[in-house]
Structure 1
Amino acid sequence: MAYIVLGQKQDQHAQYMLEKLKMRGLDAYLLSTHDFPRNVQFSYCPTEEDGSLTLNDGQILKLSEIKAVFWRGFSGVSDESTRENYLSFDSIAAQDSLACLRTWFLLDNGTVWMNSWQAFQHHKEKPLQLTKVKRLGVNIPKTYIGNNLEDVKAAYDQLEQSIFKPVFGGAHTEMLTDEHLSSERLADALAKSPITVQKFIAGTNIRTYVVGDKTISIELKSEKADFREDENTVLTVIETPKQIAEQAKAIKSELFLNWTAIDWRRDEQGNYYFLEANPSPMFIGFERQSGVPLTEYIIDEMCK
């Protein structure tokens, strides 16, 4: 059986996972989707419900023999130019290539995905993710998402303190201030992109890693609105409260995840508020600082 790490050669986490799989004595391969179709070949026969991948080193892997895939990153395809003319030859070719890859991603043929295409779609659509988690009975902060200037101002006025961040991701969280709202650039910015305005929960950051039935939580103490910007963030492993562990597992299932890192804010009264569930979180730093063998837990799930 074969194991695949989906990611880029230059990605530290992809290379780390590849090395750990090989250390287990497993046949593991790195696959960058951007190499397809230029340097990687895909074959599939619906009547047989099987096919193959030919990697850029010539290695041929039958789809039915791929035991598990660790999804670190999706990098599109070789000639993805759909932003220009969607009826151009290159654009149609790119859509054909993506249709082949999505077929493989969505096949129900026994391959274990860490994580699946569905999981990544739910992560990309943050408003949908928040809504589905709220329907589970999990606390989420008061949130506004959109580009209506008056509604942004109303959300700001209704909240004692608020933060703003992108809807999709790609930038860090910032505190929303009077200066932001009085800026003439705000209307121009909203004409280009909606934003997320969210109540700031005074307290501390909690991250809960969920792998299979395991939950491991850490407290991330930081003075900044976004702990990722703070080099002095203090990491401490804590016990996951029973209710939060149950909610974390329910979130993992609802969002089609086999493993995840869930970010919470824990307020000064001990209440947890869900922020997001990441289908491909960074984990090397956590593993090295905490001593928790998270990678081994992930590989155990891949080998089941």
Structure 2
Amino acid sequence: MGKFIVMGQQEDLHTQHMLEQLKLKTDDVYHFQSHDFPSKAQLSLDLISEQGHAITTVCGTKILLNDIEAVYWRNFSGVSDEATKNNVGSIESLSAYDSMATIRTWMQLGNDTQWFNSWAAYQYHQEKPRQLLKVKQLGCNIPKTYIGNELTEIKKAFLTFKKAIFKPVYGGAYTEWLTSGHLVKEHAEAALRKSPITVQEYIPGTNIRTFVIDEKVVSVEVNSESVDFREDNLSSMHCVNTPIHIQSQALAITKALRLKWTAIDWRKSPDGHYYFLEANPSPMFLATEERTELPITKWLVEAMLNSRH
């Protein structure tokens, strides 16, 4: 058995949970926080012998990259000099970009390390229009969507949809209702000069979250009055059976977006149609386990331990 890395912020609950659970199965588990590189951790890419690619953790343990069987990637916390990247052209800025390029190379090295999940999967999530287009090409339903910063088109979408929501194109904020107050010309044009937005038709119905792990497909219904159930700490969950074609779509989405595991969010309309919202490459799952008793941790740990078999 090879070595395993849990990559995430030290204080993150899921990072600590996966470290603890993997250590119950093997002694070769190590923590890596991207923010420790290059100030406290080392990363070597040896293009001379191509055998010396290695990472050295904060505690001083050197690990050959080819010996890493799997990485659970919970979150990315930048690099040591991340805050200096905005100072374009400075030595500090160049250092930060050098560090990021080195880490990204490791994450896309193409060796046998299995990433849960990969940089490619992460990019699909951060470029949500691309993710939506890819999923639509698979034949899945998606809500009617406008992405951009043309106020006339946003108003047209707002008037066309019975109810409309808006959210960031990249992520990092919750979904909100779109109201006429948001479309006041002076305010809206100022905001749209800063960034585009995603406007979607609101699909009435229920929230369904489908976890896909190592060919296992399980779904929960999330009952919440909030437009974005992620901010509702009082939401309730229970396991549900989804139609065979939705399970097949979930597997196809996972493969197309180059995911090893994921949580896919759907809206199920009153007439039983499922609409894809997003596929998360690093979903939170502890609350789901607690409320439904689904053994997500067990499945994820097993998938990592058996990733090369």
TM range (shorter): over 0.9
Partner of 1:28: 29
Partner of 1:84: 87
- 3-state SS of the aligned residue for 2:170? coil
Provide the C-alpha distance between the structure 2 equivalents of 1:141 and 1:96, rounded to a whole number of angstroms.
40
- 3-state SS of the aligned residue for 2:45? strand
1:219-243, Cα deviation, whole Å (9 max, x unpaired): 0111221112223312010113211
Relative distance call for 1:245 and 1:26 in structure 2 (3 A) is farther
Provide the C-alpha distance between the structure 1 equivalents of 2:227 and 2:168, rounded to a whole number of angstroms.
14
Partner of 1:275: 277
Partner of 2:165: 163
Q: CA RMSD of the aligned region, Å?
A: 1.2
Partner of 2:46: 45
Code of the residue aligned with 2:19 in structure 1: it is L
1:233 corresponds to 2:235: yes
1:47, distance to aligned residue in structure 2 (A): 4.0
Answer yes or no: is the 8 Å Cα contact 2:236–2:291 preserved in 1. Answer: no
Code of the residue aligned with 1:83 in structure 2: it is N
1:254-277, Cα deviation, whole Å (9 max, x unpaired): 111000000000000110000000
1:144-172, Cα deviation, whole Å (9 max, x unpaired): 01111111101111111111111111111
Provide the C-alpha distance between the structure 1 equivalents of 2:243 and 2:27, rounded to a whole number of angstroms.
35
Aligned pairs for 1:130-141 (under 5 A) are 130-141=132-143
Code of the residue aligned with 2:85 in structure 1: it is T
Code of the residue aligned with 1:64 in structure 2: it is N
Q: 1:265 aligns with which of 263, 267, 275?
A: 267
* Percent of aligned pairs with the same amino acid: 50
- 3-state SS of the aligned residue for 1:45? coil
Provide the C-alpha distance between the structure 1 equivalents of 2:184 and 2:55, rounded to a whole number of angstroms.
54
Code of the residue aligned with 1:143 in structure 2: it is T
1:82, distance to aligned residue in structure 2 (A): 2.0
The TM-score normalised by the length of structure 2 is: 0.95
Q: Give 4+ residue runs of structure 1 displaced > 6 Å after superposition.
A: none
Give 5+ residue unaligned stretches, structure 1.
Answer: none
Partner of 1:295: 297
Partner of 2:130: 128
Answer yes or no: is the 8 Å Cα contact 1:215–1:240 preserved in 2. Answer: no
Q: How many residues align?
A: 303
